[in-house]
Structure 1
């Protein structure tokens, strides 16, 4: 991602994190059976879970996919292109394949993703791929943009939540055209910027809010997002609510809901939601490799739920720290 040394404070943060940056793949760390996908997403279809994410150390090739029947034990990679569900030969991009989202719409499977710090959308007849584009181009934008999340509302309108690299990583939203080939420029607006103390614990000159996911619950829209540089141990997950998919968004005082303080792992964040076979809401995200090494980041899952707000108003989103676990590869 594009992190700028815009101030002395941010320069000091970079120095503090340098040991992590110099060993991005942590080759001296035994990987075991953990899954090492950053920015992960899980898609459920006909009894099978499909896991995608940023392939650390190999993000220039596309997106691998793993499959599971229970979310705990996984097989793969099983994409049709040598393990990849999307290969760069079939779609836009030559490097930096990050943060995919897979969804089903009108009988087709779509993948929204980042490549070359742009956003593209590919389609397939199977969750295993190949995800392809007839025209290998990104969505038009005047700035670099990453971390897409496509939300289709009950009325069929489509919205693109994404991050624009503009004086920080800032989350924006815009209504999309019906064919998802672009956005309606007049609807574009900023949704979230990292301005709260927990969102920028290093007081960085380039504040980071990213990885948006949106849920609709009892007529209210919930945007779940991550804040802080992903290399920062304080990388964490919070949320905001709105009565409209376009905002304005009200950040919740209970944020962050996932952090090193309640999970016990460093660098917790940037994920997506899936409902399991029993209807439970599950958040999939990544953590640092260890307390001292950032990568390769490990894929993790945790149970979440909506519960009554003791102060009244919309229900609150919480997670159960005791449900946290790392999935494994068979």
Structure 2
């Protein structure tokens, strides 16, 4: 009996040690996860602009969208550094609600198209880091509220502003911009897309949403990418449409959505921008919900896309799911 007791006692000691070691391992994992969460970049409606060997990341600052736009930089897309505010309230149009920035270069300067006070404005700078300012603090003229600008430069020299107008839903419009980037040409304004497909309004909302436009051109065909559903809806997802003209008519891809929680495993996937990396690969930067339980603060992620030929010149865009990752800040 004594021998059996000793053997049982020794067995339980072994079990206890396994439990203790497992607990320590779990605590370390939780601690590391907490550290990683602390380093997470929380930008909604993000965009990445690449200049030379540097990537510049901008977006809506979750929890502090009344201050302006922050910028993060990286040379390898893995290590990101917080460089502070590229546009500050008081130096360009807007009292609050600084959303959805897009940065581009034009005539040896850098510009940021953005939303403030539910209007679209464009500011300029000598550097992608900013400061982006306006000599005259003003928004583009509009008879309605408008958000989510995307400035597209076509091969013929014309400049187009794809954007959202708030009228019986969030609807996508396009208009030609003047060369000074100060206003659209009103006679060119035309509606592009509204949320009419089942996947675009899974909540059957009275105010359907199509927003976050991005445009690219391939083999003479225009591709208009957009996000549908309210941003708080877990079914917030990305689709696209094609046209032979920058004005449309637009034919929605029958395989939409191309990016959603169904293929990424995260809620609220969308409202981003495409960019090419130094290797020429096509990437999409976007946001997701914070978790399955809550929306904010939304997390910034990147995924690569590849293109497959569908019919003739038309391409099918598909995400490479194993490339999905969240962006995090490294120690300066």
Is the TM value for this pair above 0.5?
Answer: yes
TM-align CA RMSD:
1.3
Segments ≥4 residues shifted beyond 6 Å: none
CA contact (8 A) 2:221 2:313 kept: no
Equivalent residue, structure 2, for 1:61? 67
1:155 aligns with 2:151: no
Higher helix proportion (structure 1 or 2):
2
Equivalent residue, structure 2, for 1:329? 329
CA contact (8 A) 1:72 1:326 kept: no
1:99 aligns with 2:107: no
For structure 1, which runs of at least 5 residues remain unmatched after alignment? 1-27
CA contact (8 A) 2:47 2:101 kept: yes
**Of the two structures, which has the highest relative contact order with CA contacts closer than 8 Å and spacing of 6 or more?**
1
| 1-structure distance, mates of 2:189, 2:76 | 39
| 1-structure distance, mates of 2:111, 2:140 | 14
1:34 aligns with 2:40: yes
C-alpha distance after superposition, 1:50-102 (max 9, x if no partner): 000000110001000000011122011x1xxxx10000111000100000000
C-alpha distance after superposition, 1:242-268 (max 9, x if no partner): 101111111001110000000000000
Aligned-pair CA distance for 1:178? 1.5
CA contact (8 A) 2:89 2:95 kept: yes
| 1-structure distance, mates of 2:247, 2:241 | 12
1:142 aligns with 2:143: yes
Structure 1 residue matching 2:44: 3-state secondary structure: strand
| 2-structure distance, mates of 1:90, 1:254 | 43
| 2-structure distance, mates of 1:59, 1:119 | 15
Equivalent residue, structure 2, for 1:13? none
| 2-structure distance, mates of 1:160, 1:124 | 19
For structure 2, which runs of at least 5 residues remain unmatched after alignment? 1-33
| 1-structure distance, mates of 2:160, 2:35 | 40
TM-score, normalising length: structure 2: 0.88
C-alpha distance after superposition, 1:149-169 (max 9, x if no partner): 000001110000000000000
| 1-structure distance, mates of 2:232, 2:37 | 19
Equivalent residue, structure 2, for 1:205? 206
Counterparts of 1:302-313 in structure 2 under 5 Å?
302-309=303-310, 311-313=311-313
Counterparts of 1:1-330 in structure 2 under 5 Å?
31-76=37-82, 78=83, 83-309=84-310, 311-330=311-330
C-alpha distance after superposition, 1:89-134 (max 9, x if no partner): 1100010000000000121000000000000000000000000001
Aligned-pair CA distance for 1:29? 12
| 2-structure distance, mates of 1:313, 1:84 | 42
CA contact (8 A) 2:91 2:133 kept: yes
Aligned-pair CA distance for 1:231? 0.3
C-alpha distance after superposition, 1:128-186 (max 9, x if no partner): 00000010000000000000000000111000000000000000001111111111111
CA contact (8 A) 2:60 2:99 kept: yes
C-alpha distance after superposition, 1:242-299 (max 9, x if no partner): 1011111110011100000000000000000110000001000000000111010000
For these two proteins, the number of residue pairs brought into alignment is: 297
